[in-house]
Every structure is written in structure tokens, then in C-alpha cells.
Structure 1
Amino acid sequence: MSIIAGSVDFAHCISNSTPYLTHPFRHVFDKFKHDYYREWNDSSVTLSYWHRIISPESISDTQPINTHELVLLADLRLDNRAELLNQLNGVNPPSPDSDLVLAAYKKWGKDCVNHMLGGFAIAIWNKETETLFCARDQVGNKPLYYADIKDSSGHTFIFCTSPTGILKHPKATREIDPEGVFNILMGSVCNEETATLFSGIKRLAAGFCLQANKKGTELWRYWEPEPGNPVRFTNENDYVEGFNEKLEQAVKACINTELPVSSFLSGGLDSSTVSCMANKLLHRSDKRLITSSFVLPEYEAGIDERKYIDDILQENDFEHFYITR
């Protein structure tokens, strides 16, 4: 993945104001392997981007994308590129996903998220209205954290793919949030999507957008799962073909990369199905899937999922690694 980070001091978002020294993110993620670093600044805003080339289209990505009115940052993988290209006139097919998001925002505004499928965390700064728009994909594939720090002069909004970037900001606090720790440890019970370990730092929940300006910050949910219409076929083979078609479409979108592809293989139905389909698709390009499994030590074998994992391995030529203590 790539990393995005930014800060906006809304107290200094005034035309022709005295330049305000914004927080430099440049060296925060020096140890993160990336292909390039770029940033965009004005008197009160810093937007930073650490890029990793993953897909063929991402080779030409040049974020932050700076236009007359907008500046865009995004860590993303769009799964419905073909559909978007048909809807967005003037965008060339080889364009990176970030160009598609910018064109979608120009056409649909905040509703652009309802037209996008895949994993994405996006931030768009409007220089004319001095407004920041952020969004996270429907199921939370890509992370996005933020802190809205208020003082007597106004508020400073900070966001990042990781809490690490926010904690490096001089206005952020490292104070541990006991309730956040509890919610994370009891996540399966509390289902607290916004909790973090730190006071004042929140995670933008999956399927949510936010907008920040001088007046404050507004959050809203743009997507939540709804019951679908039942699918009815005349025979069982049609169900199998329909499922395989959807599965292949979903997995194919996730392996659009020049890099080696890896998956976690637990021995359960979900990971086994996805891994087998991914390996099948990779074979078309003379590639092979790398898989890994967490198992117990040999002397405790028999009480983990190794048996089911081995059954899958016997039928596939994965490059497999067992991980144990």
C-alpha cells in the first residue's frame, strides 16, 4: 500500500495571511519502503504521499495531484476501473486510479464514493472553499486515521494512513486512551470501529466520509450492507457458474500487480477458495501464488488446522510457508 498524510490549520486558512509553518511529514516514514515521496504545501496545509508501485497503472501515478481548485491524495485500488472509464469522459484507460477518483469527484462531488468499488482511503483539499473531504471504502480495506485538535484560535485537522504520522505532529498527544484499549481488545464484542489506543485519534469507520472546514468537522455514513434480492436459477449448475463468475471477477481485481502475489491460507473455506482461484488466474501469466499459514509447533500438531491446509496443498502448486513459534 501507499501512505497518505496531511494537516490543515484552519485558524490560518486566510488569504494573504502570514505564512504558517505547517508540520513536515517528510521523514516520518523513512523506513517504509516506497518508490517516491512527494508533498504539497501552502501557508496552512501540508499533504504528503509515499508511493508504492503495485499495479501497472500505478507506475504513472504522480500524487499529490494538484489542479487549479483541488489537491488529491489517495491510497487505493479500484476494482471497477472499466465501469468508471465508461462513465468519465476524457480519462485515458492507462491512467492511474487516482486520476479516476479526481475525475469522479469533479463529476459527482461527495457522491463519488457511491460510484467506486475496491479499497480506498482518499483526501481531497478544495483550495477555493478551504474544505477537506475524506472517505474510506465500504468495508474498510484501506485504513485512515484522524485527529481534530481544537484550541482558542480554531482547530487543526490531521490525518494519516497510520497513527504514527499523527503522533509526530507537534499538536498531537501520546496519551493512552483506556477506553480505546478496551474496545480494541474486546473488538469482537464491542464492534467499536473508530477506537484507537490514543486519546484524540480516531479511525474513520468503513463506509464513512468526513468534511472538515473552519466551522468544524462533519461525519456521515454513505454505505451500509443491505439485504439483496434472492438469486434464483433453474438448476444447480447455474448457481455454480454464477458463483465462479463473481469469485473470479473479485479475485482478478485484487491481483492486478506486477509484484509477487501472496495470500493467507488457514485451511478454512474462505481462504482456501480465494487462494485456489488466485493461483488459477496467476497460472495464465505463468505465475504462482505464495501462501503462508500460522500453525502450532510440531509437538502440538494435530490440534491446529494443518491437516486441512495439507489437503489443499496436495491439490495445488502453491509456494507455501508454515509459520510457527
Structure 2
Amino acid sequence: MCGICGTLNWGSVAAATAALVHRGPDAAGAWHDDTCELGFRRLAIIDLTPAGQQPMCNEAGTLWLVFNGEIYNHQALRMELERRGHVFSSRTDSECVLHGYEEWGAQVVQRLRGMFAIALWDQRTRKLFLARDRLGIKPLYYCGVGARFGFASEIKALLGLPQLDLQPDHSALWDYLTYLYVPTPKTAYRSIRQLPPAHTLEIEADGTQRIACYWKLENWGAPLGTSEPQLHARWLPAVEALSDKLREAVQMHLLADVPVGLLLSGGVDSSAVAALACAAGRAQLQTFSIGFDVDVHSELPAARASAAAFGTLHREQVCTQASMAEGLQQMLQLYDQPFADASGMPTLAVARLAAQHVKVVLSGDGGDEIFGGYRWQQQWLDMAAQRVPAALYERVLLPAFVPLARLPRVAGLINRLHLDVRGKHGPERYGALLAKIKSFQKPHLLPELAREFRDYDNYWHWRAHWRADLDLLSQAQCADLHTYLPDDILTKVDRASMAVSLEVRPPLLDHELVELAAGMPAEFRLGKRLLRAAVAALLPPAVLARPKRGFSAPLLHWLRPETRNGVKLGGVALWAMLVLDAWRGPPARLPPA
């Protein structure tokens, strides 16, 4: 895991490389020719010798690489490339990417199994090649002005480039109130974009850009139409296939030349990863958990029980209300733009705890997306069965209540009854269901942008990844996999962990595992039925029966609600506005609890 950056026709990357020191404190590297300059910060995980230093070049010195991530099938790739005549000078996975590009060109990304952000400068063709992994585990941002081009692992590394326009992207700020993150490919800055997951970007020396998608999750299993999926003839073969793939993925994710630990919440996802990791026969593994000073939000008792069952060396920590003020500024320092996931603070805390003992941890991220575990996915299914005509909500009830929505009781009624959701269809309904700040509230919270975005499509990001041809559960999962997962969950985990120089690996997002799970019938996926069955022999019954609990700070307990321009805000909605305030100006003061 590392930090990478580079420029074409834009001069030194010394400042950009220094801005990424937290991502790679073990070593630094740089290289340049008359057009391209590459910068690198190393967090040494595989082949800890100087042979793994980057920027890395081929034997001829014509191809230069900086790489962030891990390629879990690099040993198999190395053997294949050696049979084809390639000579290696290190044991690193990054060198497999370098030789793989020599052999297969841009198609090398099709052969990589792992998480990655890649930058390759080819001196022969005078082209820069960028690529991001399929699920968006590793970040990659870029910007361009004419023939000048820059890229980096984080936005902060680009902010110092001379003559870069740092005006805010108003549409991104308007989107932020809907999603509570800035959706890809946007950032909060007009001139900086994020490369979408599963995409490559080729840049000519004159600044010409070509972007392409190299992977899509096309095949989703159709419903079987059964209320008892466990009795279906396909059930047992599916459980066995998933069990085998889970073991394989976890085993591959344990590969490292440094100690590996586990982030453990006590839920099914992280407990399944922990159980499989322990079963792989490693020495006693270390597990790390975080809790809160509000008992109803704390998962520490469940995490302790799981750790005891697996025999791990367990460590834990408690987040308190006192961490809120510090956390607000940390959110800006980590993400470089507004980002309001309330679990950002505890994720940073557990990463900091783990980083004191290990360099790498496995996590259970991705389980809800690929195995249908989110509560809102069930809500989405339940709404499809409503008998009241949608037109009644959209044409009668909602128009009657929205003008009164500044009254707290009216706003509460709209939220409780989903009056703004039930009259919509497809991505509009799904977007309205997930939005914490309602579309009719946004003009009051950002009145200076209200006229500019009066006819704006608030749900464009969900719409861009909507599959109308799929069943209802697959529609929701597909949308989450392309929006919430990369732009919220994986962004949060990457920034929080790399801020303390910790590599987090999510085995449940191995793309072969994701493809296998998505291809299973919808009834098998719903509520993590298939995942629970696949790991049933490894987990304590209490863990298997434990209902889904979100990993987020208890903001309703820590923040006192306040009213802004007639809109009463509390919890994550208020937190979102506090983060936006802090990004736009002087540090915001937290309201007393």
C-alpha cells in the first residue's frame, strides 16, 4: 500500500509526494524525464528490501511504474510471465504489473486480482496509462490544464499544482447534501476528477485523454420465485461454491511479509473473515474493535465474544463524545472535501489502534452490498408491495405537506411515512429512500445555489448505475455496489487507514467472489442467507443470529438538534452541514449535546 502521484508537463512532484507521506512512511522515490515526473511513498508489505522501491522500471528503462495496492494472484502471474521470458529483479507484486503491461498492454488489468491504482509512463509511445481496480478499493484523482496533467492518490497532493483552478464545483456541493459524499467522477473542485472504478485513462503527451471501462458486473441471478430457498435444488451447490471461494479469497488476502490482523465488529461479515483467517492455520491473529460511550451503539460485547470463540489476541477502544470536535477537523484533513459518513471517526480510531500493532488488517467491508444485508434494501422490497397508488403520494399528499415541511412535526411525518418516496419509481424512489437530506430541504440549506439547481436531477448518480432489467433486490445491490460502496464505504476506509499507515484488505470484495455471489438467485442473497450458510460451521450461533447493526457514531446522542433557515436538523444531517460549514470556511463550532 502506498501513495502515488505524477505529472505531465507540470514540473516537480516533490510537494505532492510529501503530501502523501502518511500513505507510505517507509521510503520515498521520484523519477522524471523531459515530460513526465513520478512520485512515490512506500508502505512496505511484500518484499521489504530496496528491490521493491518505486518508481520501478523495466530492463530497458523505457517503462516506468508507480503502483498502489496489492495483487493477490501475483505469484501465478509471475510464473506465467517468466515462462514468456520476463526476468524479475524483486519479489514484489508491483513488478508483475510492470512486466504484465509489457506483455499484454492495457489488457493487463483484466488479469489482476486485487486492489490497485496504477500509473505507467511509456517513454516509447509518450503515453501515461492510469487504472483503478474493479470495485474502487484504491483511489485515484486527476486534473488537467491544456497539455498539463496531474494525478495522485489523494486530492491534497494536487492542490499545490501551479495555476490549477481551485474553484468549488457547485453541483458537487449540491450532490453532497443528497448523498453525504461527493459522487464519482466529481470532486468538490471543478478542475479535479476521480477516475471511476474499473476504468482506465490514457493520456497523450499533448494532454489528450481517453477513458475506458474494462469490467462490468453484468450477470445477476434471477429470482427463483420460492419462499423457501434452502429447500431448492440449487441451494446446497451454491453454499458449497461460495464456501470454497470464501476460503480462497481470505487465504489470498493473508499473503504478506509483515504481521496481518483483523478488524472485528462481531457481525457476520467481519466474523466470517476472522473465522476463515484463523482456520487458514496462521499463528495467533490479532483482532481490533471500537465501541462507543453509548451502549446501544457499541458492538464491543459481540466483538469480544467472537474474538474469544476464534482465540485471537483482541484489543479494543471506546470513542466518546469528547472526540467530536477533533473528529470534525480530521474529517476535512482526511477527505479533502465534504464527507459526512458518521462512521469516519470510529474507523479512524480503530485503524489507529490496529496500526500500533500490525501493518495490515483484513476487514468485512462489502458483505452488505454483495449479500443483500442493508435494511434499506428490505425497505425497498417492502415498498414495491404497497397498495396505495403512487400518484396519490406524488400528486396529492406530498404537495400538501412540503409547503409545511419547515414545521418539525410535518417533516417528521414525511420521513416516517416516506411520503417523498412512495410516489416515485425506479432510481428516483431508491434515491429518495436513501437520501438523509430531502430534496425539498436542500434549497433552504444552500439558498445561494437554489436557483442554479432548481431543475437539477438529484438522483443522477443512482440513475447512471440503474438496471431496470433486474429484479428489485438486484437493482438495489447493483446501485449500492457502484455508488455507496466506492464513494462512501471504501473512501472512508482508505483515508482512515492510510492516515495512520495501515493497509486494509477486504476479502469479500475479491472480484471473483463478487461475480459468484451476484450470479446466485436473489432469494439466496437476501439478508445474507447464503453467506450465513457458507460459514455456519465456523461461527458461533449467536453471531449467525445477530441482526444487522450499522457501524456509525451515535450522533443523535452526541449532537443537539438545531434549526437552519427553517429546517430542523439532527444526527447525520446536522453532521453533514457542520462538515460542509467547516470545509467552506472557519472551523465550525459543535452545538452542545
TM-score in terms of structure 2 length: 0.47
Aligned AA (1:55): I
Q: Deviations over 1:35-77 (max 9, x none)?
A: 2211111223210111111124776313212343211111121
The one of 301, 308, 317 equivalent to 2:295 is 301
CA contact (8 A) 1:145 1:203 kept: yes
Q: How does 1:191-206 map to 2 (within 5 A)?
A: 192-206=183-197
**Where does structure 2 lack aligned partners over 5 or more consecutive residues?**
223-231, 321-593
Q: Deviations over 1:78-119 (max 9, x none)?
A: 111243134312355963112111111111111111111101
Task: Tell me the residue number matched to 1:87.
Answer: 80
Relative to structure 1, the CA distance from residue 195 to residue 142 in structure 2 (aligned partners, 3 Å threshold; closer, same or farther) is same
Task: Tell me the residue number matched to 2:317.
Answer: 322
Matched residues, number: 303
SS at match of 2:171: helix
Relative to structure 1, the CA distance from residue 182 to residue 61 in structure 2 (aligned partners, 3 Å threshold; closer, same or farther) is farther
Identity %: 24
Relative to structure 1, the CA distance from residue 270 to residue 101 in structure 2 (aligned partners, 3 Å threshold; closer, same or farther) is same
Q: Deviations over 1:263-319 (max 9, x none)?
A: 3323322122112222333xx3323122223x331xx31354445434423412331
The one of 41, 45, 48 equivalent to 2:32 is 41
Relative to structure 1, the CA distance from residue 248 to residue 93 in structure 2 (aligned partners, 3 Å threshold; closer, same or farther) is farther
Q: Deviations over 1:180-234 (max 9, x none)?
A: 234345437x98322322221111111000011115111111111121689xx97
Task: Tell me the residue number matched to 1:17.
Answer: none
CA contact (8 A) 1:74 1:120 kept: yes
Using CA pairs below 8 Å that are at least 6 residues apart, which structure has the higher relative contact order? 2
The one of 48, 54, 62 equivalent to 2:53 is 62
SS at match of 1:242: helix
CA contact (8 A) 1:278 1:289 kept: no
Task: Tell me the residue number matched to 1:211.
Answer: 202
Whole-Å separation in 2 of the counterparts to 1:243 and 1:52: 32
The one of 110, 117, 124 equivalent to 2:113 is 117
SS at match of 2:316: strand
Relative to structure 1, the CA distance from residue 158 to residue 52 in structure 2 (aligned partners, 3 Å threshold; closer, same or farther) is same
Whole-Å separation in 1 of the counterparts to 2:89 and 2:7: 32
Q: Deviations over 1:242-261 (max 9, x none)?
A: 33321121112222223332
Whole-Å separation in 1 of the counterparts to 2:121 and 2:289: 40
SS at match of 1:128: coil
Whole-Å separation in 2 of the counterparts to 1:24 and 1:33: 14
Whole-Å separation in 2 of the counterparts to 1:64 and 1:117: 22
Of 315-324 and 190-199, deviating more is 190-199
Q: How does 1:181-196 map to 2 (within 5 A)?
A: 181-184=173-176, 186-187=178-179, 192-196=183-187
Whole-Å separation in 2 of the counterparts to 1:23 and 1:93: 26
Whole-Å separation in 1 of the counterparts to 2:303 and 2:145: 48
Task: Tell me the residue number matched to 2:44.
Answer: 53
Task: Tell me the residue number matched to 2:7.
Answer: 7
Task: Tell me the residue number matched to 1:172.
Answer: 164
CA contact (8 A) 1:9 1:45 kept: yes
CA contact (8 A) 1:194 1:203 kept: yes
Task: Tell me the residue number matched to 1:256.
Answer: 255
Whole-Å separation in 2 of the counterparts to 1:195 and 1:275: 35
* 2:69 matches 1:76: yes
Whole-Å separation in 2 of the counterparts to 1:114 and 1:58: 28
* 2:120 matches 1:128: no
Runs of 4+ off more than 6 Å: 233-237
SS at match of 1:315: helix
* 2:151 matches 1:159: yes
Deviation at 1:143, TM superposition (A): 1.0
Deviation at 1:146, TM superposition (A): 0.5
SS at match of 1:276: helix
SS at match of 2:158: helix
Task: Tell me the residue number matched to 2:586.
Answer: none
Deviation at 1:239, TM superposition (A): 4.8
Q: CA RMSD in A?
A: 2.9
Aligned AA (1:24): A
Relative to structure 1, the CA distance from residue 80 to residue 186 in structure 2 (aligned partners, 3 Å threshold; closer, same or farther) is farther
SS at match of 1:167: coil
Deviation at 1:137, TM superposition (A): 0.7
SS at match of 1:320: strand
CA contact (8 A) 1:23 1:170 kept: no
CA contact (8 A) 1:76 1:97 kept: no
Hey, which of these two has a bigger chunk of helix by percent?
A: 2
Task: Tell me the residue number matched to 2:306.
Answer: 312
Larger radius of gyration: 2
